[in-house]
Amino acid sequence: MKPAIFSGAVAVILILASLAHSAAKRPLNFQITARADGEDQEATEAGFQTRNWDRAHFGYNRYKASDGQRLDSKYGEFRTEDEARRYFDWSLAKAAQVITEGDTLDRKGNRVGRRAEVSLKPDRSSYAVMWTHGAVFREILAGGLAHAVALEKQYGN
C-alpha cells in the first residue's frame, strides 16, 4: 500500500509542477482597477505645466496583474516635446539607479522620444519604466521590472 501512496504523491507533484510551469509561461494580463487624475505638486513647484493646465496635471491608472501584483501608471501631455524630455530628465534624476536608458523608436525605427528603466529605491524593491513619445510622458511603477515592461508592451511601446 505504501508504494501506491508514494507513486500517487509523485503523480500529484508532477501534475502541480506542470501546471506551475505552464502558468509561468502564460503572458501577464492587466486589469485597470482605478483611474484618477490630479496635480503632481512637486513637478508644478519645479515649474512644469502640462497641456491645457497651468500646473503639472497627470492621469493615473492602477492595474492588477493576472498574478496579483499591483502596478501604477502616470501619463500626461506637455506643451512641447522639449518639455516632455525635460520632465523625463527631471524624473530620471530622482531614480536610485538607472538600469537602461535610450531612445523610444516608432515602428519604422525613427526616434520619437526617450525611454528608461530605473530602480526607484536603493533596495531595488520598486521599479519604473518611463518614456516619452513626442510631447507625451508615461511612467509605469511596479514591484518587479518584468511586470512594468509587460504592461508597457500593452501600450504598444
Q: Which of 18-27, 85-94, 106-115 has the highest mean pLDDT?
A: 85-94
User: What percent of the chain is modeled with pLDDT above 90?
Assistant: 73
| Range scoring the smallest mean pLDDT among 18-32, 102-116, 120-134, 139-153 | 18-32
Domain ranges of the chain: 30-154
Is the pLDDT score of 91 beyond 90? yes
| β pairing state of 111-119 and 97-105 | antiparallel
pLDDT value of residue 107 = 86
The C-alpha atoms of residue 38 and residue 30 are separated, in whole angstroms, by: 23
Q: How confident is the model over 12-20, as a mean pLDDT?
A: 47
Range 30-154: architecture per CATH: 3-Layer(aba) Sandwich (3.40)
Q: Tell the residue number behind the cell numbers 530628465, with chain if given.
A: 89
CB under 8 Å to 84, separation ≥6 — which residues?
A: 77, 78, 113, 132, 134, 135, 136, 137
pLDDT value of residue 106 = 86
The C-alpha cell that represents 106 in the structure block: 516608432
Question: What confidence category does residue 26 fall into, taking pLDDT thresholds of 50, 70 and 90?
Answer: confident
pLDDT value of residue 105 = 87
Q: How confident is the model over 32-41, as a mean pLDDT?
A: 96
Q: How confident is the model over 33-48, as a mean pLDDT?
A: 97
The C-alpha cell that represents 132 in the structure block: 516619452
Is the pLDDT score of 22 beyond 60? no
A 10 A CB-CB count for 55 gives 14
What is the model's pTM? 0.80
Is the pLDDT score of 133 beyond 80? yes
Q: How confident is the model over 19-47, as a mean pLDDT?
A: 83
